[in-house]
Amino acid sequence: MNIYVLLINLLILCLAIMATAANPTNRNSYFDANGHFAVEVDIPAGSRQAVLEISDNLGSSAVWRPMIASPLDGRAARALFRLPPQNSPKVFARVKTHSSPTLPPVELTGNDLCFVRYEDLDGTARTTFFASASDKIREWNALPVAQWQSNLIAWALQDPAVATAEVPTGANDVTVRFKDGMTLVLMRPPRRYTGPATLEAPLAIKMSRAMSLSKAASVAPKAVNQVGENLPGSNAAITAFSLESTFPNSAPTIAGWLRTHKYQVTEFPRTTVDDIKNWSAAKPIGVLFWQSHGIHYKKKDGTRGVALVTRQFATPEMINGKYKAMVDAGELDFAIDDNPWKLPYFAITSEFVRKHIKFAPNSIVVVDACLAGDAELAKGFNDAHCGSFASWDWLSGPYSGTPCLKVFDRLLGMNEEPPVSSPPERSFSLKAIRWWMSAFGFDIDPSPMYEDQTRPNAKLTWFHHPTAPGHILRPSVMRALHENAFPGEPYAKYLIEGDFGDDPGESLREVLWGGLKMDVVRWAPNTGIVIRMPASPPAGNIEVIVKKDFLTRSNLLPITQWTVPFTYDIKTEGSLTAKMEMTVKFRADIHGSRGNPEMPLQYLPTLFFNMSDCWGTVSGTGTHNPSANKTITWSGGSNLTSIDHNQEDTRELKRIRATGTIQTKTGLINPFNLTADGDFTETEVTVHPDGSSTTEIRKQGVGFAGFGYPQPELPINPGNSVFRGNTITWPAGTNSIKLSWPSVTPQAAPDIETPR
């Protein structure tokens, strides 16, 4: 409903532009690429200010709100106002001019809300060249690329102010250099594709990928974590869109994903020079995603550079005034297309990046722009301490944002950008993602090819900082493996494998299990995190939390726990019965794991060993009369306990010992080594012929030595991880020996929604 109302607002605005006081004339009104309502007016000479006002009615009681104001220098000019959508059922707008240079208070400010172009600027003909260039770009747009380029070069060289005009290697655009050193790129209109949906192009890749999946996965490299590969040193994130509305805008989606994982995101649906200068004013950037046009241009020293085009018009006043020093220093360049305003846009160069943007260590930058995957531009980003920089090595098309979505989806574990795995995926390191995208062709621009294109589509190309490259955007837990005692570590442990970066220090990290903080024994970036298993481990998930520069959490890894009541019954002569009741707890990571995106789940055999949380009892009951004058009675019993199997006294009496291996792929526990022993009291009373009696009291031991050989099937149901109940009997002549246990539903069992 809100969107509908806003559209109605803008349609009303189209009909409600009214001339006022000094008679500015409405020239044009339209919706621009970012949904702003653009109003172009001609300003008469003598005006010192122009103000865009809005009201919700045209009656005599109407209240006009000053929204946007711009100073003027008294010359005749044309002004462009850009009014953002207004949350009102009806809006009218007007532009007023005045001879006073004092601007009124207004509600909206910003460099991108109003542009002024004067009819003449100190007699220069450059404004005329800009306008003519825009017209020529549009006029010859239907020509083949080579003819379009040739026509523009010939036309530009006729201007006496132009020194050179040429097509840089690998580009479609024409670079014009004026004799005063300024360069202007005449941009070839981008591919505006209106054919089948964006999924068509990746579908062909997916079909070929599916046939080679198992082979590719079998040769996937193991993750290599080197010192210096960490989370970004800042959670400041920027997403920016500097393209026309005909391009799919991936920036809002990526911004939402980053916010989900506590990145402080600032969105720029339109970019100006000042915006970009202020991106890192508060703190260095940890993540940047920017969709823009990339252009090749020729530097003053004759070398080739690459610049990123903003959405800010470069008026002659700005070129020769506010931004002149930056232009002269080679920080800003210019590019013009067939826009109706007939002005070039500012474009930022690698020198601008070095001087005005600061990146955090291990930051990740993805620029969705033609030609920007170039060593010259990438060096500017890396010199500004960007950890890893990626962009396209050639001309990209309208769907080049799709691979960028895949990068951030996998870095954050969002499971939204196709292909989506089931069960869902955890987040992955940049190295794993780059390998996956390269192996399956996802790092190739999926846009339809140009007509008569002879080379492959653009490829996403990466450049890395030598000591602090991009690595991960959140900690990622792959699996947990049981680890036995080491010298100096005489206790049971879990090795948590995944991607975590260097150890940030004890006060800046936590490993939680079931919400309880664990004792971290070792944190090694190349092997994983080792935690000491508590005496009575909790039931629940393992989670890794890093708090070095900002707080970020890993995926949850369930450690599945079974609590099984085993009953061991021995019935002998008479009613003599010995019973051993053992409540056995054992636990393991059985959820399966992936080393790379889309990798088939890997189910490793997983070990388990009891800790100090098993308990039980041994009891003896009943009587037996081996002869007329003799009676044997069983009574009493003992308690059973358990301790960490790594402890020295684990073999003492009255202990429960449970170890084994869960074959997670088949769902069987084999072997399952369960033993226990205890005692009870045996009383023997003998009655003598004279009526006297003798009583002997002694301890009688009982033990369970295991399931025997061959071991019976001990299955775990694959769907719900239930440990299936059973009763096992052993032949014992006239005696009876059996072990029984019920089916047990575990705690913290993985399910189809558990990320792997």
97 close to 24: Cβ distance less than 8 angstroms: yes
Domain boundary among 63, 89, 118: 118
**Structure confidence by residue, pLDDT tens digits, 255-302:** 999 999 999 999 999 999 999 999 999 999 999 999 999 999 988 888
Q: Please report the DSSP string for 433-459 in residue order.
A: HHHHHHHTTTTB--SPPPTT--SPPPB
Query: Does 369 reside within a domain?
Result: yes
Q: Is the pLDDT score of 708 beyond 90? A: no
Residue with tokens 């994983």: 528
**Structure confidence by residue, pLDDT tens digits, 168-216:** 887 889 999 888 778 999 998 876 555 443 333 333 333 333 323 333 3
The CATH code of the domain that includes 369 is: 3.40.50
Domain boundary among 526, 555, 584: 555
Residue 732's domain comprises 560-741
How many alpha carbons lie under 13 Å from residue 550 in its C-beta half-sphere? 20
Q: Are residues 564 and 671 in the same domain?
A: yes
Q: Are residues 671 and 567 in the same domain?
A: yes
Domain boundary among 496, 527, 555: 555
Per-residue pLDDT, averaged over 346-360, amounts to 98
**pLDDT attached to residue 20:** 42
Could you give the number of structural domains in the chain?
4
512 close to 543: Cβ distance less than 8 angstroms: yes
Q: Are residues 238 and 91 in the same domain?
A: no
Higher pLDDT, 115 or 551: 551
Q: Are residues 427 and 530 in the same domain?
A: no
**pLDDT attached to residue 246:** 84
Q: Are residues 373 and 494 in the same domain?
A: no
Query: Does 210 reside within a domain?
Result: no
Query: Does 719 reside within a domain?
Result: yes
Q: Are residues 498 and 591 in the same domain?
A: no
Contacting residues for 599 by C-beta, under 8 A, at least 6 apart: 217, 220
Residue with tokens 């294109």: 453
10 Å CB burial of residue 349 (0-12, 13-18, 19+) is buried
Q: Are residues 628 and 573 in the same domain?
A: yes
Query: Does 705 reside within a domain?
Result: yes
Cα distance between residue 283 and residue 274, in whole Å: 16
Q: Are residues 530 and 451 in the same domain?
A: no
**Structure confidence by residue, pLDDT tens digits, 100-140:** 999 999 999 887 788 887 755 443 567 788 889 999 999 99
Higher pLDDT, 645 or 570: 570
**pLDDT attached to residue 632:** 96
**pLDDT attached to residue 85:** 86
**pLDDT attached to residue 539:** 95
Q: Under DSSP, is residue 5 helix (H, G, I), strand (E, B) or coil? A: helix
**pLDDT attached to residue 351:** 98
Query: Does 623 reside within a domain?
Result: yes
Per-residue pLDDT, averaged over 346-367, amounts to 98
Per-residue pLDDT, averaged over 478-488, amounts to 92
Q: Please report the DSSP string for 47-115 in residue order.
A: --EEEEEEES--STT--PEEEEEEE--SS-EEEEEEEPP-SSS--EEEEEEES--SPPP-S---TTSEE
Q: Are residues 631 and 713 in the same domain?
A: yes
Structure tokens at 580: 């051993």
Mean pLDDT of the chain: 88
Q: Are residues 417 and 301 in the same domain?
A: yes
Query: Does 368 reside within a domain?
Result: yes
